[in-house]
Structure 1
Amino acid sequence: METIAFRMQLRPGQEEAYRARHDAIWPELAQTLRDAGIADYWIFFDDETHHLFAVLKRSADHTMDRLADEDVMKRWWAHMADLMATHPDRRPRQHSLKPMFHLA
């Protein structure tokens, strides 16, 4: 499993709505993420910058690059677009993070 991380931007004042929507994540979406090879997915919030930091593990044969084609993913992005910075197609704006240290 490969560990990757990325940053997204939450709009100010949307922390509770973001948490509530993720607490009620659609089972179909969770299964689609698992089927794409994603596991142990965490999202952290920095209340000073409103950045969301995501960390996940993905299998060597992951299909994350195909998630944008999944209807459930498009619906989720539309559902979340009012809370965060997005591209015109409603994909969250993501910035990859470089690993700097790991204590195993």
Structure 2
Amino acid sequence: MIRKASIMYVYKDKYEEYQRCHDELWPEMEKELKEHGAHNYSIFLDEESGQLFAYLEIEDEERWNQMASTDICQKWWTYMEPLMETNPDNSPVSKELKSVFYLA
């Protein structure tokens, strides 16, 4: 398993809506994530800053990278765009984090 972590940003007035969207994650989005090798996917919120910390484990980097080009992912990004900082293609502004410690 490959462990990945990143930081994204949700607008402060959109916390509840962001939570609701993930509580009601589309079944087809969940299916696609799993088909692209995602496991143990968690997102945490710092309510003071609006910073999101995302952690997931993937099976294969190349397979995971193909997720972004799927129709369902593109649809999800468009759906989430009003709630968070995004790039011109509606993907979340995201900064990948470097692993510096791991205790199995």
Q: Same fold (TM over 0.5)?
A: yes
The structural deviation recorded for 1:88 is 0.7
1:71 maps to what in 2?
A: 71
1:14 maps to what in 2?
A: 14
Aligned residues between the structures:
104
1:83 maps to what in 2?
A: 83
1:92 maps to what in 2?
A: 92
Q: CA RMSD in A?
A: 1.2
1:60 maps to what in 2?
A: 60
Matching residue's letter, 1:67: M
Secondary structure in 2 aligned to 1:85?
coil
Unaligned runs of 5+ in 1: none
The structural deviation recorded for 1:12 is 1.2
Matching residue's letter, 2:19: R
Matching residue's letter, 1:45: L
| Identity score, percent | 36
Matching residue's letter, 2:21: R
Unaligned runs of 5+ in 2: none
Structure 1 residues 61 and 10: CA distance shift in structure 2, 3 A: closer
Q: Distance in 1 between matches of 2:92 and 2:61?
A: 23
Secondary structure in 2 aligned to 1:92?
coil
Matching residue's letter, 1:12: K
The structural deviation recorded for 1:60 is 3.2
Q: Distance in 2 between matches of 1:42 and 1:61?
A: 18
Bigger proportion of residues as helix: 2
Match status 1:49 vs 2:53? no
**TM-score when normalising by structure 1:** 0.94
The structural deviation recorded for 1:103 is 2.2
Matching residue's letter, 1:43: I
**TM-score when normalising by structure 2:** 0.94
Per-residue CA deviation, residues 76-99 of structure 1 (Å, 9 max, x unaligned), is: 000000000001110001100111
Q: Distance in 2 between matches of 1:103 and 1:25?
A: 30
The structural deviation recorded for 1:65 is 1.1
